[in-house]
Amino acid sequence: MVSLTDIRDAAAAIDGAVANTPCLHSRTLSDVTGAQVYLKFENLQFTAAFKERGALNKLLSLTAEQRSAGVIAASAGNHAQGVAYHAHRLGIPAVIVMPRLTPYVKVERTRSHGGEVILQGDNFDASQLHAISVAAARGLVMVHPFDDEKIIAGQGTLALEMLSAWPELETLIVPIGGGGLIAGVATAAKGINPGIEIVGVQTERYASMYRALRGEPAAFGDNTIAEGIAVKTPGTLTMPIVRELVDEIVLVSEGALEQAIVMLLEIEKTVVEGAGAAGLAALLAYPERFKGRHVGLILCGGNIDPLMLADIIERGMVRAGRLTRLCVELTDLPGALAAVTACIAASNANIDEVHHQRKFTHLPVQSTVVEFVLQTRDHAHAAEVVAALGAAGFKARLENGG
């Protein structure tokens, strides 16, 4: 088992090479959630994720012979970058096996840090199996992303920083993939304050640790925007620590993750990936569970594909009623569209897109459906636009989907 002493030793070992990232109180998120919210900005590490901590601690523990042989790691991206960056900095050859569908930004950044990248497998578990075979064939040292005492101890160092900055913290909400982060955090936090509450969070689609601890069969979704914690098999070292020290594990939906990403971008002006938003997603999904408590959230990573982020932002605008799809039926005659747009303008909505639908409709000939995408203030404003069009004699309806 990893001890508080191991974690303090890791903190001393990596000091100066890994950032002591800010841990700040968020007044706005505290007002929104009803808890006192403190954010640990691990997305501000050089490789934009906490994984540097464990990776460096492991690399520093290698013998000269092991360093000369080189290392290998399997990762969906953040561990890969941490290993590649610090291995390159220390002069250690590094091979990284990544799932084939890993976001492009993570693959390219891993290569830019000096790692030899092999894309193999559809998920972390498949990549890990391939990495084991490559390690045996090439005589490389495996740097496991979570199931290693040095890795666990390194990840736990961020909890030392959080509790040093805010001793009043009562609850830490920690994302769980294989369990390396929460095992280290729980060991450090409970070692300093045995009464502190540790709550893990997983996605509904990859609830491996949640199900394993309950003795339930594993079941997984096709994909998740939190690919950094999409691990099918919990660690053999981490699971006993989680069982002993973690008070509860909660599950969050993909929609809650998307909402949390958008809120952190809007409110805190910070970019996180799906896994990095998991703590806030849990806080938003279970507000009564954490109401009134001093809650620490770990923004564990910020490596999100820009195209995915753009989609999430637009979907968030739809959910908030700031982008509205409106369908209006009208007679297909000159001036009809102008009358509709004038009514929309009078309602202070801005037209983003316009599309005529003349063919795929059951309306009579010389009638059409015009689909608008509008920029509105909120859902109430969108309803006002529909009411104004109805008062002007137009049949209009909102079609925003789910």
Domain boundary pick from 316, 348, 369: 316
pTM over the 0.95 mark: no
User: What's the token pair of residue 148?
Assistant: 């290693």
Domain boundary pick from 316, 331, 351: 316
Whether residues 80 and 197 fall in one domain: no
- Which residue has tokens 């010389």? 366
Residue type, 301: G
What was the pLDDT predicted at 76? Answer: 74
Looking at the chain, the number of H-run helices and the number of E-run strands are: 17, 14
* 10-residue mean pLDDT series, the chain (402 residues): 96 98 98 98 96 98 97 90 96 94 81 92 87 96 96 98 98 97 98 98 96 92 88 93 98 96 96 97 97 98 92 92 91 86 94 79 70 94 94 89 53
Whether residues 252 and 390 fall in one domain: no
Whether residues 116 and 180 fall in one domain: no
User: What's the token pair of residue 284?
Assistant: 């938003």
Whether residues 248 and 232 fall in one domain: yes
Q: Which residues contact 386 (CB under 8 A, 6 or more apart)?
A: 326, 396, 397, 398
Residue type, 67: R
Q: Are 51 and 87 in contact (CB under 8 A)?
A: no
Whether residues 116 and 256 fall in one domain: no
Q: Are 306 and 105 in contact (CB under 8 A)?
A: yes
Which helix (H) or strand (E) is 203 found in, with range?
A: strand 197-203
Sign of the C-alpha dihedral, residues 70, 149, 5, 159?
Answer: positive
Range of the domain at 99: 53-142
Whether residues 166 and 275 fall in one domain: yes
Whether residues 116 and 178 fall in one domain: no
Relative orientation angle of helices 4-14 and 180-192, to the nearest 10 degrees: 110
- Which residue has tokens 């736990």? 156
Whether residues 80 and 98 fall in one domain: yes
Burial 3-19 (b: 16+ CB within 10 A, else e): ebebbbebbebbeeebe
Domain boundary pick from 260, 288, 316: 316
Outline where 114-234 has alpha helix (H). Answer: 124-138, 149-165, 180-192, 208-214
Whether residues 240 and 135 fall in one domain: no
* CATH code for the domain in which residue 57 is found: 3.40.50.1100
Burial 326-348 (b: 16+ CB within 10 A, else e): bebebebeeebbeebeebbeebe
Which helix (H) or strand (E) is 33 found in, with range?
A: helix 27-33
Whether residues 256 and 376 fall in one domain: no
CA distance 385 to 340: 11
Whether residues 119 and 176 fall in one domain: no
* CATH code for the domain in which residue 325 is found: 3.30.70.260
Whether residues 342 and 310 fall in one domain: no
Q: What are phi and psi of 75, to 5 degrees?
A: -165, 150
* SS3 call for 161: helix
Number of domains making up the chain: 3
Q: How far is CA 78 from the centre of its chain?
A: 12
DSSP per-residue string spanning 71-92? EEEE-SSHHHHHHHHHHHHHT-
Question: Are β-strands 350-357 and 367-375 bridged in parallel, bridged antiparallel, or unpaired?
Answer: antiparallel
Q: Are 198 and 189 in contact (CB under 8 A)?
A: yes
What was the pLDDT predicted at 330? Answer: 84
